[in-house]
Chain A
Amino acid sequence: MFAHMDPMLTTNRKMARVLSIKDETPDIKRITLRTNRHWSAFKAGQYATFKVMIDGVFLERCYSLVSPPNSEVIEIAVKRQPYGRVSNWMHHQLEVGDTIEMADVAGEFVLPQTTPDSLLFIAGGSGVTPIFSLLVEAITRQSNVDATVIYYANSKEDLAFGKEFDKLAEKHPSVTVHYALAEDGDAGSFSIEQLAALCNDYSDRETYLCGPPGLMSVVSKVWEAQNITPRLNKEVFGLPAIESDVPANKMPIMLRRSQQELLNSKPSLLESAEAAGARPAHGCRIGMCKTCSCTKVSGVVRDLVTGEIDDQPNTQIRICVSEPLSAVVLDI
């Protein structure tokens, strides 16, 4: 009832009120928010889930928190995706004073308890957000931390946090920041030669990588080839995509609550789970009674009755009439 007077007064939900919205680059906005009393602490590099209602439907998206953990307000940087429902909504509909519901903070993309001797940060596009947080955190812990940043972006005006990076590099001589811009041709794309030139001791450094899938995969290959993968920390972002190159019967299905992993061996998720020995609740098996409805935590599925494809996190699906189109995690 308090929530009817002011959504921030809700008795149990995490809510945040928008304090400011500023343009950072042509397609990235920085949004600061004040959270209500249900908000809990987080670590630099982690992300928060935001639940926004668009046209009657709650959609969830994760955004890295770019404000330091001890700050009174939180800040996120949102890149507008061409067809992104939530990012477009945040860019065009969200206004100062609005409240947004939030879910838990999560993420393993954090600095270890003891700050490593030397660090390398590789960021691409909007993947810079957790990287920026981690750099600030590393400097806060140890102002002469040995850190190198390589930041890939399309053009100079697409650099988010550019001014902050420059200032940090200026103030802390031990911090080096390199920008690699696509508008400059070859210099803007990752190669092992470029890496060796910018940071020749990369194999000795604890490395943090966040960027688009292409960058993530080429960088990972270099670390794999050198057998130093354990030193590479990665953060993936964005919605899952249909994995058309994976054969249907090899699609992994994870039942989260029962901690069971299985493969998509049958036409529907329910039958696959049963074939693997799991016993999910079910009823009519024709997609009508919803006894088998459960939360699909992540992954892309197709409804076998309607043909509808669902790639959103945390939605309700009927497993008796759903087939996976990517790796799927179910809350069963």
Chain B
Amino acid sequence: MDVKSKSRQLNEEEITAFGLELDEIRKEVMESLGKKEADYIYRVRNFVRYTEIVGRSSLMLGWLPPFWVAGSAILGVSKIVENMELGHNVMHGQYDWMNDPTLRGSTYEWDTVCTADNWRHTHNFMHHTYTNVLEMDHDIGYGALRLFPEQEWSPRYLANPIIATFLALTFEWTLALQSLELEKLITGEKSFAEIREELKPIAKKMRKQFAKDYLFFPLLAGPMFIPVITGNLMAGVIRNLWTFGIIFCGHFTEDAETFPKEIIENESRGQWYLRQLRGSSNLVGGRMFDFLTGNLSHQIEHHMFPDVPGVRYAELSEKVQDICVRYGQNYNTGSFKKQFSTVVGRIFKYALPFGKKAKQKKSAEIVSVNIPQKSINLDKNAA
């Protein structure tokens, strides 16, 4: 499973042309935004609000099993859509052009434990700028998992499968702690005092979210306390498992590539696009699937155009695929089942000290993206 790029090496001119073509796509779509997208995002917001009302009301009758099951599921879906299609996308500033302060990227706060401000830093900035760059993109294993041979192995990674399962179940809570970079406590790069200070806003949001789902609504339900609290817990777990699955398929599939730090020095726009393409992977599904993933099923398009409304990615993906074919670039896509099984494969494989020797070779190969003079067709995709 050692990653060899399935994409052809491009020379400098090709990389520039590749970037210009993608810039053109972005320009076209940005100019076409209007009432259709505005109506859409308002519909999404209404969907979130009304499914939340229906889900929570249904749980109030939770002593009847069908109501409990339906209530938990509907509330789970409501949270999924709020976090992904609404919150995540709005916080990228995808709807800033509307000038609606309630849908403004820099001030939107979402219904999850992670504070919007921390998210905008770790996700919008760190992850989207340094996508899959080792030691820069904290999303590579979230400081807790080893997923690529280029990450140095240590015995703590033997627990990869257990930690991954724990992350999946508690994703909302553990993601909230991501900005603390707790693993730096182990290495001594951070002190307890620093962590305590940074924890303050996170703890505040944790208390708020906990109080809402596990105190306020259960107490409001009175005799229905137990069904409501378990239903809310269930809805949270549904959302956690789903978001974990979708997000891990975004950058940790078999063909997803990582990059050494040096790659970002003087990176051109074309090279930046290329890195986004090679570090991301898509999921094939229908319109309903796209909606429930917040259009992150089009992770490649999302990474190329993070501020373009997600609802337009499906249409853009045809143009991006066409460009990829013309430039000999692998367009990493597949069914959820296929992509996720390769993620699980990585979680197990790199728990063990596989791939340490591959490190040097791999780095050299990727760096050659930056040295276009040497570029020849290195297509190693003999398979």
Which of A55-63, A127-135, A176-184, A224-232 sits within the interface?
A: A55-63
**Set of chain B residues within 8 Å of A312, measured between Cβ atoms:** 99
Please name all residues of chain B whose beta carbon is closer than 8 Å to the beta carbon of A286 when the two chains form the complex: 129, 269, 272
CB distance from B192 to the nearest CB of A (A): 27
A54 to B3, CA, bound (A): 49
The residues of B that contact A4 with a CB separation of less than 8 Å are: 46
Which residue of chain B has its CB nearest to the CB of A318?
Answer: B93
Q: B106 touching A316 by the CB < 8 A rule? A: yes
> Which of these, B35, B39, B100, B124, contacts A290 with CB under 8 Å?
B124
Binds A, one of B26-34, B176-184, B212-220, B335-343: B26-34
Contacts known (A53-B38, A283-B121); A306 close to B106, Cβ less than 8 A: no
Task: Evaluate whether A56 and B106 lie within 8 angstroms (CB atoms) in the complex, with A289-B124, A293-B93 already known.
Answer: no
The 8 A CB mask of A42-68 against B (1 = contact, 0 = none) is: 000000000101011111100000000
Contact partner, A56, options B27, B38, B93, B104, Cβ 8 Å: B38
> CA of A314 to CA of B99 in the docked complex: distance in angstroms?
8
CB of B4 within 8 A of chain A? no
Known: A58-B100, A283-B129. A290 touches B105 (CB 8 A): yes
- Contact status B128-A288, CB under 8 Å: yes
With A55-B35, A57-B98, A59-B99 already in contact, the answer to whether A316 and B129 are too (CB < 8 A) is: no
Chain B residues lying within 8 Å of A288, measured Cβ to Cβ, are 128-129, 306-307
Interface size range of chain A in the complex:
20 to 34
User: Which residues from chain A contact B129 at a C-beta distance below 8 Å?
Assistant: 283-284, 286, 288-289
B166 in the interface (beta carbon within 8 A): no
With A55-B35, A56-B36: A293-B96 Cβ-Cβ less than 8 Å: yes
Chain A residues near B37 (CB-CB < 8 A): 56
Question: Could you tell me the distance between the alpha carbons of A206 and B38 in the complex, rounded to whole angstroms?
Answer: 48
The answer to whether the Cβ of A294 comes within 8 Å of any Cβ in the partner chain is yes
Known pairs A55-B35, A290-B106; A284 contacts B128 (CB<8 A): yes
Expressed in whole angstroms, the Cα–Cα distance for A290 and B89 within the complex equals: 12
List B residues 94-125 near A (Cβ within 8 Å).
96-100, 104-106, 120-121, 124-125
* B window 26-78: CB within 8 A of A: 27, 30, 33-39, 46, 49
Q: Which of A282-324 contact B (CB under 8 A)?
A: 283-284, 286, 288-291, 293-294, 306, 312, 314-316
Q: How far is the CA of A156 from the CA of B223 in the complex (A)?
A: 76
Chain A residues near B27 (CB-CB < 8 A): 306
CA distance A53 to B103 in the complex (A): 14
**When the two chains form their complex, are residues A289 and B125 in contact, meaning their CB atoms are under 8 A apart?**
yes
Question: Does B349 have its Cβ within 8 Å of any Cβ on chain A?
Answer: no
Residues on A with beta carbons closer than 8 Å to the beta carbon of B239: none
- Expressed in whole angstroms, the Cα–Cα distance for A286 and B96 within the complex equals 17
Nearest Cβ in chain A — how far from B259, in angstroms? 16
Q: Which residues from chain B contact A56 at a C-beta distance below 8 Å?
A: 33-39, 98
B278 contacts the other chain (Cβ, under 8 Å)?
A: no
Question: Interface readout for B331-355 with A: 1 if CB under 8 Å, 0 if not?
Answer: 0000000000000000000000000
Please measure, in the bound complex, the distance between the C-alpha atom of A294 and the C-alpha atom of B269, giving whole angstroms.
24
Q: Is A316's CB under 8 angstroms from B96's CB?
A: yes
| Chain A residue at minimal CB-CB distance from B129 | A284
Q: In the complex, A291→B35 CA distance in Å? A: 26
A284 near B125 (CB under 8 angstroms)? yes
Given A56-B98, A59-B99, the answer on whether A316 and B93 have CB atoms closer than 8 Å is yes
CA of A289 to CA of B125, assembled, Å: 5
Shortest CB distance A76–B (Å)? 20
Q: Report the Cα distance A228→B125, complex, angstroms.
A: 54
Interface presence of B251 (CB below 8 A):
no
In angstroms, how far is the closest chain A Cβ from the Cβ of B24?
11
Interface string of A1-43 (1 = CB under 8 A from B): 1001000000000000000000000000000000000000000
- Given A284-B129, A293-B93, A315-B99, A57 and B30 touching (CB < 8 A)? no
Chain B proximity of A280: nearest CB distance (Å): 12
Q: A58-B98, A290-B307, A316-B99 are in contact. List 5 more A-B contacts (CB 8 A).
A: A56-B38, A57-B34, A283-B129, A290-B120, A293-B105
The 10 A-B residue pairs whose C-beta atoms are closest, nearest first, are: A56-B38, A283-B125, A58-B99, A284-B129, A316-B96, A290-B93, A56-B35, A289-B125, A55-B34, A56-B34
CB pairs A–B below 8 angstroms (23 shown):
A1-B49, A57-B34, A57-B97, A57-B98, A57-B99, A58-B98, A58-B99, A283-B125, A288-B128, A288-B306, A288-B307, A289-B124, A289-B128, A290-B106, A290-B124, A293-B106, A294-B106, A312-B99, A315-B99, A316-B97, A316-B104, A316-B105, A316-B106
